[in-house]
Structure 1
Amino acid sequence: MSLVLTVNGRQHTVDASPETPLLYVLRNDLQLNGAKFGCGLGQCGACTVQVDGKAAYSCLLPVAAAQGRAIRTVEGLGAPEAPSPLQKAFMDEQAAQCGYCIGGMIMRAQALLDANPRPSEAHIRAHMQPNLCRCGTHMRILRAIRRAAGLPVEAASA
């Protein structure tokens, strides 16, 4: 079945079964590999993208439910030669160790900063809680988000 998706501001027509997870269409049909398959259950966040400005697990979202909605992937934020402020902050803080979770972390963090450019420490932590980093770089990830938000890089209280 032909479906029309708007991804990173561009329309794409894809042939996919309506119940196919958005993640598979992004990776296999559109060659956007920033979102990763982690658990397939919406429990790790490696597949996080933005749908209508909100963080969403692309492994759980049927592609048919994504039609007519604005989908944004980490590739839509910036490029290696011109990273977004959040991507630059992740680089400055060396927030990626293995890098597997980082696309999802950045997309969840970007959704937060788009909704609230200067969130509190508690708000950052609560918003980022669903995404997991198996390498344990959570503290560097939190510093990167604070840096991008123009907040003191070191948290006032942990």
Structure 2
Amino acid sequence: MARNKGNRSGGTPATVALDRAGVAYTPRSYVHDPAVASYGMEAAQALGVEPARVLKTLLVRVDGALAVGVVPVDRQLDLKAVAAALGGKRAELADPKDAERSTGYVVGGISPIGQRTSLRTVVDDSAQAYGTVLVSGGRRGFDIELAPGDLAAATGATYAAIARR
């Protein structure tokens, strides 16, 4: 995987952040179908990638404060586990409008990278089993493929078992 020279991806905040940090990644675009309800599963199918390698970004409120949970698209975020991983007692999914306002991205295109406001982030530990994973690149129909360690470094994330089937 080479650093994205020339920023073929269209310069989303996520790609700009990765380029500035010198992180190697591969932009992966596909045609988004607005009728599809599961953005992550759509990406996995369109890109021909195992769903466990495609990660979705979910904003949560842990004891009232916004945070980010990143889990495989074929699993659900375990709210108790993400609260515990962040040292909190209670977590709930954030309101979509709050998520968009905080991150600067639209739902279905929220990237864990390059968010407007830096939030505490937890990536499900299953991501470490793969050489590369895919996350939203900052818009629907655009993902970024990168090493899990680079994802954690770019977001300041920790790893924990936060996903359930």
* TM norm. shorter chain > 0.5: no
User: Relative contact order (alpha carbons < 8 A, sep ≥ 6): 1 or 2 greater?
Assistant: 2
Compare the two structures and name the one with the higher helix fraction: 1
What is the TM-score normalised by the length of structure 1? 0.30
